[in-house]
């Protein structure tokens, strides 16, 4: 299996622009997580899905952030409009329920908002 | 919301030294404790999933123990090597799948 795939790996954008991050979970995994990593706060859970349905989005910082999972093999995290404080590494992870519950992480997207 | 805490925040050891660090978590409603290894510019990789009080797991020179009654887990590295340099994260699910991560212990092994 190719593992969790994220794109793009790096994104540089100007303040105010819309940014879309993409994730393809491991085939057969039914949980998908979006995390943000910053120096100050470490790894923060933003939102997670089960069978394409959002279960908990309490970690989404504000209305500028939205996430969707239209099918079992694709999810997006959108920031509109982006701000410099959104600069971070965004990770996607997936789990197959009924297993040891260890998460498999994607390589991350490094977002820089100037 | 659970508080998962790790100590120390960072650690420098000489090659060949053995080392250990701690993950503390609230002991009520325990479900599982995960350890991850996170190398710079890569993504976190699972090391251990621990579920039972008294669990001890081992992978090569790395081992971990779990005490759910007092709410802590130790990660041990025997004979540290430069390739062990990484951030070691622990996580506990708040609810079945909502993982709360500690801020990690950054280990640097000096050759």
Q: Tell whether A89 lies on the interface with B, counting CB pairs under 8 A.
A: no
Nearest Cα to Cα of residue B89 among B70, B75, B78: B75
Q: For chain B, which residues score pLDDT lower than 50?
A: 1
Mean pLDDT of chain A: 93
Report the gap between the CA of A25 and the closest CA in chain B (Å).
Answer: 14
- Cα separation, A30 vs A51, in Å, equals 5
The pLDDT, as a whole number, for residue A33 is 96
Residue of chain A minimizing CA distance to B106: A42
Average pLDDT over residues A90-96: 94
- Contact B48/B35 with Cβ under 8 angstroms? yes
Q: Tell whether A54 lies on the interface with B, counting CB pairs under 8 A.
A: no
Report the gap between the CA of B53 and the closest CA in chain A (Å).
Answer: 16
Q: Is the peptide bond before B8 cis (omega within 30 degrees of 0)?
A: yes
Would you place residue A65 in the very low, low, confident or very high pLDDT band (cuts 50, 70, 90)?
very high
């Amino acid at each position: 299996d190719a593992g969790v795939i994220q794109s793009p790996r790096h994104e540089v954008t100007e303040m105010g622009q819309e940014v879309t991050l993409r994730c393809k979970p491991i085939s057969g995994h039914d949980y998908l997580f979006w995390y943000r990593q910053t120096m100050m706060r470490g790894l923060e859970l933003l939102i997670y899905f089960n069978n394409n349905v959002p279960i908990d989005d309490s970690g989404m910082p504000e209305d500028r952030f939205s996430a969707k999972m239209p099918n079992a093999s694709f999810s997006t995290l959108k920031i509109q409009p982006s701000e410099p404080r959104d600069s971070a590494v965004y990770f996607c992870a997936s789990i197959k329920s009924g297993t040891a519950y260890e998460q498999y992480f994607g390589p991350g997207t490094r977002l820089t908002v100037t | 919301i659970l508080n998962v805490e790790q100590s120390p925040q960072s650690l420098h050891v000489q090659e060949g030294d053995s080392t250990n660090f701690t993950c503390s978590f609230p002991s009520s409603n325990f479900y599982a404790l995960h350890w991850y290894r996170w190398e710079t510019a890569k993504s976190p990789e699972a090391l251990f999933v621990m579920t039972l009080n008294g669990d001890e797991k081992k992978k090569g020179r790395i081992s971990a123990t779990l005490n759910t009654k007092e709410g802590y887990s130790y990660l041990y590295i025997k004979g540290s090597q430069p390739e062990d340099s990484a951030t070691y994260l622990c996580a506990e699910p708040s609810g079945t799948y909502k993982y709360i991560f500690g801020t990690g212990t950054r280990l640097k092994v000096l050759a």
